[in-house]
Structure 1
């Protein structure tokens, strides 16, 4: 800033200056305009009573905002400079002649009294009653010309208004300055060009009003009310960004928040808002909030990536070698567009490995695979599979895998599993049983983890299925054991439960299942969206061998075979997986403790990280649960991690982990066995126990037709329990808002 007082100048020069404000007070500016060089950076020019005889030009100071030159003698020109950025002008008593530029219509503060103007713009005539004092004392009177009609206009006079009321902008010509005589709800943005109006709330019952801009000009405004709403939110994953399209009813200036972070729209109108997000935007639950000045609305949505996704992986040998990832991966077609994921997947046999591979017809772009930090060579890839060479691992079990695809990463420590080879049985096999691949192979009527148990006599119990719900009943003695599929959970990458689904209502019908005979199919009536849920319960009437997930199972008469399929699970994230929670517990049905053991005892056997079997002993009886750690995902044999979740309030919890599958099959079997010393009348001939074993096979199949084995789509759960003298396989359900072991007790 520079102030010069009581000075006489012949010339002034501010070459290469960034001066913003110049004041010349009570001085004498002689010479012509060419004698003075003013900086273009100047924003404030204040020349008061300095006997200046010239006016600066627009080209000299184009950024001028304050033009204050009262009490001078301007004789070298007959016009005011058409400054375009002025917010204040005072040229009073300076003997300026000529015309007032149109650009002065947009200046909020004006004082042009005591000059010699011969004409002014229409904007002043339109509102002469409130601006005439700005030109008082002009040598030539400047009143409104005879027959003058103001060329007033507004861009709109019909509006959409939020029910709570809102301030809406509009534009026009010759709108005035919002001074005396104008409507109090009018607010000036730019004089004569842009205004806003503060519309009342719907509760006032007003939908139209005559709006006064001055005593000379008014216009009728009409409006209708609406509520701020979000109807839908669509996330679309692209190669370089994520687009979000929000559909609803919006005002023109509302702010957009995703999970309380503000985002600037790339485009918007009253029904559609579009955002662009970075590729790092986190998957999962998203709260979309639209915030206007007086109200807001929110919408719960989910962002899920379409690539890269790994549904399953083949089991890796400890020595390393070929591994296949099944899922969805990004690649461009010949038109530069993202190739869509095929709706069906047809596996082809691989004669080298015995595993199923997909037809390889396209080349995935920008794809890398890392196992425990080491980059792996990729041998084949397309939009649905990636085949790579995995390194060797000293120990078996899960390893960390990273898939980099374009600018997105998939990271998980629960997808790629190295085989654990254990050929020794943890306990000696009894009754002529032999150890085969770490498990006892029993002969004759013997059964159990060490072949020490037998099936009870056929006349010691009865078995039947329920006609209204997925349930079968064993009528037995002395002890109640419950074994149930408590829930199906969605698990986030950090191991937390994000969703849990249960159901209780069913529709039943009789069906024939290939290889198993007559069965009852139960269809849930509580599903939503594309999710379909079925359960098939078959009571085995003759001995048969059942093959599943590369495992052979011998089914005996009076075993209960249950098939359950979770289809089209609505995941919250492409990184999330599923887990089935099984619970087991026991209680005595009599006060008599004939076997001298009324306290519950829990034991388990594992292979590496995976649970293979568990036992619950009470009152001399044992519930035996057995699992295999194999499954099918997209018709590919993969690893299923079974985990012991511990005991809570005398209930034993077991979790069976599944990958990010679109259809997930659970396939348990139920039967009863006893110790050879067990007396069906309820007494113990020795301290040996009798047992109720439960063999549970948990495969997961994507794109699996029901006709293959009547496999059904389950999203919920059932259990084996006892009511009085009966064991029951039946459904249970609960839906807590937060999920943990405590929430499913």
Structure 2
């Protein structure tokens, strides 16, 4: 291939030089005399010697001798060969409108090989045997006569146009030299006598041609070229052509006025094994098969051209043309919907001036088809659209109804067009890319020679000069005017700087790729999806939103080659919320750009934080024997569409309703009762405890009448002399004036310790966790409080602690009862805390619940510590014990009283059966969660409250069998220390109302949640495994 290109190049230069030579002086006079005789100016001008050889159709050999003359005589002077015999090398003479001697064609000069009369002359027939000619042409004949084939036996190519002859081929023509025959005739004679005949061109005058004589084509197996322009309607030619046995035909031309007729069956051309070009430029308007394309198949070898104009049929199956390079249906009525391009190889289709409809699929990219002046519509694919300002593209698409046919305003860039790489194989190359357009639109540096657009979108070509030292190619696409930089071989990519815009990252550097599929970007070990890239820039995006921040590593990989890691400071996304301020009922999560409603509101559809997330948190109480009117407290919002209240399965009348309360009535009863409230398409269900408990139990019945009396109004014992504590237990039998006193210490960390001798009870509120309606803790909601308290104030034996976590406020108040017993009133309960005891108040504000189905659980821990000071080994029993009791027969599992005993010391805790939920008194439950060795955890289950307040109290007493250290000293026992730590939870809250909120779709859903009861009875410390 390389050798061939060099040959073509030097041949072109050689011919250019021959065209530039001067006429030899020995022949110049003859040329001038010829010009004077025929009055032909180009032959007699002063510069004839230098210009003649460069005139079109004239030629000279290298020494200046004239080889070919082509001219128009301007007078009626008769020419003879004596006017030309001075041209020693003249081999070709073309005369236009000349008058010559009558025997001119019979006596040529010896050098003449080709003689052409291209317009009318006085030679009007051939009447005897002709001398030897390579080519003889007679034009514009007018007479009719019989031409004997024997006259032509010395002529290789004979053409006679005009007139009307009868061709007499009788006799022995075996020695005839005829290879190419072009004649005007109305009847095709038997031509098989011409054994060398390769090319036949027949035409007719105005007299109808005898089409039955076309049968004489069938024996011409050596015929390679056939041209037919005959004056006959509905002629059948292809039946004769396909009947040629072992045909050598490679060229078929049918021109006007030939009119092919309809066919009774489709034509099979597969037997024409040498066929290369078919041109039917005649009127083919009725040449079809029942309105369909008249051909059924083509040869299996490659065909260069198939042209069929002025046709009328539906668009054929394009698979028929898989072996055809160029298909032309111009100026026809080819109709139907344009299909997808079905072929794997490019075939150049031309449908200029037809009736095609539908859209152009992108499968037609790189085919080079022409669709000018059809009825196509829709949107053009980018492979066409991006190059509309190039006339070579727009001219093939004009005259249709495309929605984006804008030749003066084409906006296309790297996202639509791309060059990926260039691959070399010797001097040949393949340029790979996407939507690169016609290769004539590409300018490259260094220069490349393009050959063709391939069907897969690539472009092939070759080079003359070496590129071994070239590492980078620059390409410019003239339309739409964008540039590409391509490396010959992949190289390691480099990054210079990175820009972040929310979750989109722009990476600038070198040796990237225009093919995004070859690029991988890792940002903090996360895939960054590449959606745009060039040689110098990459754009990619990671999942939205961006939650990482700070310094991270970025690595780019292109074609398997990875860059060095580059550090980059990443920022979280910062997106505004709509509406701004979340309608004052929530806060904006700027990372996600989403409003997070507070626990009182929901987002439904476009109503951002505007739908009340209703709940009931507490209720007033009535006599259990009579029932009566009650008020339900909670949050119900300002809008109440179709409210309905069901209590115990019975629809109840709503007397009134506002943002925070509902007035209704309930029947007599006791314990809890289920309730369902529906409004605004939302259903809330739960259990309330609206009945007054008239009589409360005291712990251990105050030891009986001999030890104390029980006040059933508040469940509090009044102890007789010699008895103490919540349950009026006896004073220690070994009590003396030296009986040790309890000491309370409140640590700045919020830890409270009540110590007696070496035994200390540590009391702490450990954590708060959200609980679902089944009682399961929600793991991601746990807030640890231990060790995070901040001491706000400490005076008058009252210490106040505070901490804020995720906008939730926690306040802890610890009050030491130091001088005397002290009376308290809380949530409707009156109680007394003995001297030496501790009362704790704990509040939670603005907990943002994950669901209105959820409530809160406060965990308290009590731990026992042993100090090596004031050691008394007389009471070491080696194990602790735990007792609890309820203050009512209705809720026997509720822990209202707790006794935790160890080494003759008792920690007593009292847990009120009420708390304040959003300022309203409501019933609560306390339960034992665990006791492991000397560590006790108590859970206080709160309702769904926004402001939650608890109020337990604790004290440490000596057990009745307490022994002073003196009482066992005579036995020789020495003090010793058992390093055991016990934690006791001291606050308990019962969940009064468990809430279930369901957003209604079509029907409201009611979920009733029962209380989860844990039996707490008397618990002795045992090993739990």
TM tier, shorter chain? 0.5 to 0.7
Higher relative contact order (CA 8 A, sep 6+): 1
Return closer, same or farther for 1:529/1:71 CA change in 2, 3 Å cut-off.
closer
CA distance in 2, matches of 1:98, 1:484: 89
**Which residue of the partner structure matches residue 640 of structure 1?**
924
Say whether the 8 Å CA contact 1:487–1:582 is kept in structure 2. yes
* Structure 1 position 396 matched with structure 2 position 671: yes
The equivalent position to 2:618 in structure 1, one of 313, 321, 325, is 313
Superposition pairs of residues 294-373 of structure 1, within 5 angstroms:
306=601, 307-310=612-615, 312-314=617-619, 321-330=628-637, 362-371=638-647
Q: How far is 1:550 from its partner?
A: 0.4
Unpaired segments of 5 or more residues in structure 1?
Answer: 14-21, 110-115, 137-147, 169-182, 188-194, 204-210, 213-218, 234-269, 277-285, 291-298, 331-361, 513-517, 685-692, 702-744
* DSSP-derived class of the 1:88 partner: helix
Give the match's secondary structure for 1:433. strand
Aligned with 1:126 (options 436, 441, 451): 441
SS in 2 for 1:503: coil
1:11 to 278, 286, 290: 290
Q: Look up the SS of the partner of 2:911 in the other structure.
A: strand
Counterpart residue number, 1:504: 787
Return the offset for 1:312: 1.4
Q: In the aligned structure 2, how far is the partner of 1:311 from the partner of 1:659?
A: 9
Residue equivalent to 1:381: 657
Call closer, same or farther: CA 1:695–1:558 in 2, change over 3 Å. Answer: same
In the other structure, the counterpart of 2:296 is 25
SS at match of 1:611: coil
Question: Shift of residue 546 of structure 1?
Answer: 1.3
Equivalent of residue 712 in structure 2, options 433, 436, 441: 436
Runs of 5+ consecutive residues of structure 2 not aligned to the other structure: 1-264, 269-286, 299-305, 386-391, 398-406, 408-436, 456-475, 486-496, 525-531, 549-572, 580-588, 602-611, 969-983, 993-1024
1:85 aligns with 2:360: yes
- Tell me if structure 1 keeps the 8 A contact 2:896–2:912: yes
Structure-1 residue corresponding to 2:21:
none
Shift of 1:572: 4.0
1:312–1:659 Cα contact (<8 Å) kept:
yes
| Distance in 2 separating the partners of 1:602 and 1:406 | 49
What is the Cα deviation at residue 636 of structure 1?
0.3
Match of 1:185 in 2: 513
Is 1:657 aligned to residue 941 of structure 2? yes
Aligned length: 533
Report the Cα offset of residue 632 of structure 1: 0.6
Aligned to 2:896, the other structure's residue is in SS state strand
Contact kept, 8 Å, 1:316 with 1:419, in 2: the verdict is: yes
Task: From the superposition, tell whether residues 408 and 61 of structure 1 become closer, same or farther in structure 2 (CA, over 3 Å).
Answer: farther
Cα gap change, 1:551 to 1:97, in 2 (>3 Å): closer
- Note closer, same or farther for the CA distance 1:458–1:553 as it changes in structure 2 (3 Å cut): farther
In the TM superposition, what are the counterparts of 1:184-223 in structure 2 within 5 Å?
Answer: 185-187=513-515
Cα 1:529–1:587, aligned 2, differ >3 Å: closer, same or farther?
closer
Contact 1:490-1:576 within 8 A present in 2 as well? yes
Counterpart of 1:491 (choices 771, 780, 789) is 771
What's the CA shift for 1:562?
Answer: 3.1
The Cα of 1:12 is off from its aligned counterpart by 5.2
Query: When you count helix as a share of all residues, which structure comes out higher?
Result: 2
Q: Is the 8 A contact 1:429 1:450 kept in 2?
A: no
Name the structure with the higher strand share.
1
Instruction: Report what 2:880 is aligned to.
Output: 600
The DSSP-based 3-state class of the residue aligned with 1:632 is strand
Equivalent residue, structure 2, for 1:560: 838
Matched, 1:630 2:914: yes
Answering whether residue 829 of structure 2 is matched by residue 551 of structure 1, we say yes
Deviation at 1:532, TM superposition (A): 5.0
Matched-pair contact (CA < 8 Å) for 2:332–2:353:
no
Cα deviation 1:37-96 (Å, max 9, x = unaligned): x8xxx9x765549997876778x427x323779999989x63584753323349999999
* Alignment root-mean-square deviation, CA: 6.3
1:610 corresponds to 2:917: no
Q: Which structure: larger Rg? A: 2
In 2 relative to 1, CA 533–545 (structure 1 residues): closer, same or farther, beyond 3 Å? closer
How far apart, in 2, do the equivalents of 1:670 and 1:641 lie?
A: 18
Contact 2:846/2:946, CA 8 A, preserved across alignment: yes
Contact 1:614–1:625 (Cα < 8 Å) also in 2: yes
Residue 583 (structure 1) aligned with residue 861 (structure 2): yes
| CA distance in structure 2 between the aligned counterparts of 1:202 and 1:653, rounded to whole angstroms | 46
**Deviation string, structure 1 residues 246-267 (Cα, Å, up to 9, x no partner):** xxxxxxxxxxxxxxxxxxxxxx
The TM-score normalised by the length of structure 2 is 0.41
Name the SS for the 2:783 alignment partner.
strand
| Secondary structure, aligned partner of 2:948 | strand
Task: Call closer, same or farther: CA 1:166–1:630 in 2, change over 3 Å.
Answer: closer
Aligned twin of 1:452: 729
